[in-house]
Amino acid sequence: MRIFRTALTCCLLLITNLVFAHHSNTPYDMSKSLHATGVVKQASFKNPHSTLTLVITDAAGSKEVSFEGHSLATLRHYGLTPSMVKPGDTITISYAPRRDRDEGGIFLSVTTASGELHDFSHLGYEDKPEAK
């Protein structure tokens, strides 16, 4: 019985550690706040994470970039609903970039096509980026 309890405790600690790692902001450089404007290709508002895929056009051409965000429940609580961000809309986001230098990041705010600003930068981030 003692071996079973020890094994169970080890498994629970491992699972807990994986859950915290998954829900951390470690992949993102939370000390930076960048901005992007693009056309929404896909907006996936669901739990546990939302995703916005934008087509961003600059001097080098067009590219698709995905950004992760909070859960549907959190976004709704702070006033952003799925009907406000639709494919084809041009929106602006601020985001913390990925540390691995891949495109994208975690979005900190969304300015909808109608001009409404929805700021999430204060939610659960230990290093709140300064607006730049």
Residues in the chain where the model's pLDDT stays below 50 = 16-22, 126-132
- What pLDDT was estimated at residue 35? 94
- What pLDDT was estimated at residue 14? 54
CATH class of 26-119: mainly beta
Q: Structure pTM?
A: 0.73
- What pLDDT was estimated at residue 11? 52
- What pLDDT was estimated at residue 100? 84
- Detail the DSSP E strand segments found in the chain: 34-44, 50-58, 61-69, 90-97, 105-111, 117-119
- What pLDDT was estimated at residue 12? 54
| Distance spanning both ends of the chain, measured CA to CA | 58
